[in-house]
Amino acid sequence: MHFALTETQTELKAAARRYLSDRYPADRIARLAAAGAGGAHHTAHDTEGWAELERQGWLDEDLGMVELALLAEEGGRALHPAPWWPTAGLAVPVYQAARSERPGPATLADGTSTCRAEPVARGARRGAGDCAGGWLLDGMVGCVVDPQVAAEILVAARTAGGVALFGVPPYGHGVALTGRAGIDPLRALAGVELTKAPARLLVGAAEAGRLLAAIADRSTVLLACEAVGVADRALEMAVDHAKTREQFGRPIGSYQAVAHLLAESYAELELARSLTYRAACLLDDVRHGRVDGAGSALACAVHAGRRAAVQVCEAAIQVCAGIGVTWEFPLHRWYRRALWIDAYAAGRPDPLTTIAEAVLG
Amino acid sequence: MRLGDSEDQARFRAQLRGWLRAHVPPAQSGAPRVWEAEELRSWSKALWHAGYAGITWPGEHGGRGLSPAYQAIYAEESALAEAPDHVNVIGLNMVGPTIVRYGTQQQRARHLPRILSGETIFCQGFSEPDAGSDLASVRTRARQHPGGYQLDGEKVWSSYAHLADYCLLLARTNPDAPKHRGLTCFLLDMNVPGVQVRPLRQLSGDNDFNQIILTGVVIPASSVLGEVGDGWRVALTTLAHERGTFGITLTARLSVQLDRLVQTAIAVGAERDPVVRREIAELHVALHGLRFTGYRALAALERTGEPGPESSVLKLRWSQANQRLSALALRLLGAKGTIDGPTAFWGGYWQHMRLRARANSIEGGTSEILRSIIAERVLGLPRGRS
């Protein structure tokens, strides 16, 4: 057991933090969020940053889960305004399985129960697994992360042979995106409507089911890591404020009522961080066939990460008090992300239910 | 970063497991067994013979010279196997390493081998009625006396004092010096005249803490540990050793308690109750959060010799989890929770735990002190007291 980051991992984390804090100071995040708050046709992303991410290796296919976890955590700390999570968390494994070049940032629309795919050549209906030609997709997926800035939307859709994975260009024929104002403008969701949209087959029905399950594990763990980063930054803001803000002639952080709230926030954060690192290690072990199944361990990370993000942000707002509830103070941007993660993950199997099943049967 | 033992650690763990299986009576379902004083003493000797005493002590002082990870494996496996506590846990984990660091040749030769073998049991005489969280205000006096010192005062919350042969005592040698500087540590022979041990009965009814009354106790100058006036630093060293792998022990015990809670839920037919399932799942998250935070702290200890800052949350959050767990367990019994004693569920085990757990957030540093330590030393907030 050596449950500590290796030197290389520590360096990776530090480099990611340097890059993100140089490029995205809190006031820039606020400006980007304001631009994105317009909804449908605006995006809060710094689209110019993508090439740099690719160059720095943020999307390398050989990154281990712990490395990805650290990048997700730093991304949460910075509210990284790039479609890194949908690309690295959701899309990269699909391109890997398909042995296909990724055209740029990408996202995944889970149309397992709402989209269907038909081969172009009518009358020659074959299973998705053995049809290399063109396909047409029909259906609607209500909540897709960042499709507006993706180079390709991956769609899980039903075929005669089962669910398979396809790629469609976001602004191609038969694809309509409906952007929505979101609680977190830095990560808006959009509806994707497909009407005989031409698509390329990436992963056939034989493999897609297992792959989608692996993607669900990987992406929820990365979101939990991001949540830890959100909590980390919120705590840092609150601690900075408590050190400098004076009332009754003393910094407010010297009052135990304030100090102890922050100490409990720290405890919440560190316990969650340990669980996300453990989940990441475990997913690496699963990938290398060293263990099978990690359900309740992943659920621990998801539950603790979400809760830490929300609770620490709320404690931080309380400590920052009057200034903390203003629009100008940047803290609400992180709180919004915490609420986004909490709500988004709520659509998945409830982690406490998963754990109770593992413990009590 | 990796989960799982190194090859050598795995070997150590497997051997230890085998040894524990052969030497600890199999855990009964339900309440754990209670160990008699004699059983505890012979357990300590058995550990010594098997090489599980002084795992991290330097080889030159009779230990195995292994890293804290091995001590952590011992702590974990021993708690999971429901082995008794080492009756000399204070001697082995706290006093011994302090004697290695500050003791004279004579003190080392006299005490270290006997601590390891379980012949000399140590207790600790730190807290006093007026020196709890504010430990540096101890009032027990050590006055110069021909050939040594005369001790007068009262110590409280001393575990194992009723069994102990020696006490690591913190006393005031210079009442005129600033409060942290007038203190000295002593190795006190508990059998000299004037030392009186009285049980301190807790709200749970337990007698496992003691009061030590010192009245005109005369001890030789050779019992001073470290320098005269340097007692605060020596005491802090002792307390730092307690922090090392203690979090791992606590977590492993919590894991055993969670198993008992699950057994109880099943025994009373509450295991399908959605509220109970949710609470148990939350305790499971708390347990594993503590477990992996303990491993992180241990990895930092292995690398730097100091447990990482995250170790500061372990005891704070362990006490909360253990209290919550005990409360849920008693609640599961419903109205039967009002009955106590031999006819109660598991002989009143949960009734006892529910009461005993209140001390968890007080003993070994109150939660209030622990939060202040996190706030000041980890988060760097300004000190709240002058």
Q: Which of A3, A266, A355 sits opposite B1 (nearest CB)?
A: A3
Residue B376 has pLDDT above 60, yes or no: yes
Does A259 sit within 8 Å of B1, measured CB to CB? Answer: no
Shortest Cα–Cα distance, B260 to chain A (Å): 12
Does B296 sit within 8 Å of A3, measured CB to CB? Answer: yes
Cα A285 to Cα A176, A290, A338, B373, distances in angstroms: 40, 5, 28, 36
Backbone angles phi, psi at B133, to 5 degrees: -60, -35
Neighbours of A358 (CB within 10 A): 16
Does A300 sit within 8 Å of B289, measured CB to CB? Answer: yes
DSSP strand pairing (B183-189 vs A246-247): unpaired
Chain B CA closest to residue A66: B1
pLDDT, average across residues B254-280:
97
Q: How open is the CA angle B258-B264-B268, to the nearest 5 degrees?
A: 150
Chain A CA closest to residue B280: A356
Sites in chain A below the pLDDT cut of 70: 37-43, 122-133, 292-293, 346-347
Q: Which residues contact B205 (CB under 8 A, 6 or more apart)?
A: B352, B355
| Highest mean predicted confidence (pLDDT) among A95-99, B65-69, B118-122, B249-253 | A95-99
State pLDDT tens for residues B270-318.
999 999 999 999 999 999 999 999 999 999 888 888 877 888 899 999 9
Does B316 sit within 8 Å of A274, measured CB to CB? Answer: no
Query: How far, in Å, CA of B237 to CA of B248, rounded?
Result: 19
Q: Which residues of B touch A353 (CB under 8 A)?
A: 277, 281
Does A267 sit within 8 Å of B313, measured CB to CB? Answer: yes
- Burial of B126: CB neighbours in 10 Å, binned 0-12, 13-18, 19+: buried
Does A352 sit within 8 Å of B1, measured CB to CB? Answer: no
Chain B CA closest to residue A264: B371
Q: Which of A255, A260, A303 sits opposite B371 (nearest CB)?
A: A260
Query: How far, in Å, CA of B164 to CA of B151, rounded?
Result: 18
The mean pLDDT value of chain B amounts to 93
Q: Which residues of A touch B1 (CB under 8 A)?
A: 2-6, 9, 66, 277, 281
The predicted pLDDT at position B385 comes to 64
Q: Which residues of B touch A70 (CB under 8 A)?
A: none
Cβ atoms of A227 and A181 within 8 Å: the answer is: no
| A297: three-class secondary structure by DSSP | helix
Chain B CA closest to residue A350: B278
Q: Give the pLDDT band of residue B32 (cuts 50, 70, 90).
A: confident
Cβ atoms of B68 and B244 within 8 Å: the answer is: yes
Shortest Cα–Cα distance, B142 to chain A (Å): 35
The predicted pLDDT at position A122 comes to 55
Query: How far, in Å, CA of A157 to CA of B279, rounded?
Result: 38
Cβ atoms of B71 and B56 within 8 Å: the answer is: yes
DSSP strand pairing (A152-159 vs A135-145): unpaired
- Burial of A293: CB neighbours in 10 Å, binned 0-12, 13-18, 19+: exposed
Cβ atoms of B70 and B57 within 8 Å: the answer is: no
Catalytic residue list of B: 242
Q: Which residues of B touch A272 (CB under 8 A)?
A: 289
Cβ atoms of A282 and A294 within 8 Å: the answer is: yes
Q: Which residues contact A325 (CB under 8 A, 6 or more apart)?
A: A317
Residue B350 has pLDDT above 90, yes or no: yes
Q: Closest Cα partner for A82 from A18, A150, A30?
A: A150
pLDDT, average across residues B7-18:
96
Q: Closest Cα partner for A299 from A231, A207, A221?
A: A221
Q: How open is the CA angle A43-A48-A54, to the nearest 5 degrees?
A: 115
The predicted pLDDT at position B306 comes to 80
State pLDDT tens for residues B191-247.
999 999 999 999 999 888 999 999 999 999 999 999 999 999 999 888 777 666 888
Cβ atoms of B109 and B44 within 8 Å: the answer is: no
The predicted pLDDT at position B36 comes to 87
Cα A219 to Cα A69, A90, A92, A189, B222, distances in angstroms: 10, 6, 11, 16, 64
Q: Which residues of A touch B302 (CB under 8 A)?
A: 2
Residue B340 has pLDDT above 90, yes or no: yes
Q: Which of B69, B262, B372 sits opposite A1 (nearest CB)?
A: B69
Question: What length does chain B have?
Answer: 386
The 3-state DSSP composition of chain B as helix, strand, coil percent (nearest 5) reads 55, 15, 30
Cβ atoms of B280 and B266 within 8 Å: the answer is: no
Examine the predicted complex and report whether its ipTM is higher than 0.90.
yes
Residue B80 has pLDDT above 80, yes or no: yes
Q: How open is the CA angle A15-A17-A21, to the nearest 5 degrees?
A: 125
> In Å, how far from its chain's centre is CA B284?
23
Q: Give the pLDDT band of residue B31 (cuts 50, 70, 90).
A: confident
Shortest Cα–Cα distance, B358 to chain A (Å): 19
Tokens at B36, concatenated: 């008699």
| B134: three-class secondary structure by DSSP | coil
Q: Which of A266, A281, A351 sits opposite B374 (nearest CB)?
A: A266
Cβ atoms of B145 and B191 within 8 Å: the answer is: no
- Residues of chain B with pLDDT > 90: what percent? 78
Name the pTM for this structure. 0.94
- The DSSP symbol for B91 reads I
Does A6 sit within 8 Å of B378, measured CB to CB? Answer: no
- Alpha-carbon torsion A125, A126, A128, A133, what sign? negative
Does A272 sit within 8 Å of B284, measured CB to CB? Answer: no
State pLDDT tens for residues B139-182.
999 999 999 999 999 999 998 899 999 999 999 999 999 999 99
Shortest Cα–Cα distance, B383 to chain A (Å): 6
Shortest Cα–Cα distance, B194 to chain A (Å): 42
Query: How far, in Å, CA of A208 to CA of A154, rounded?
Result: 12
DSSP strand pairing (B166-172 vs A106-110): unpaired
Backbone angles phi, psi at B308, to 5 degrees: -70, 170
Tokens at A137, concatenated: 């997709």
* Block residue for tokens 């909540």: A143
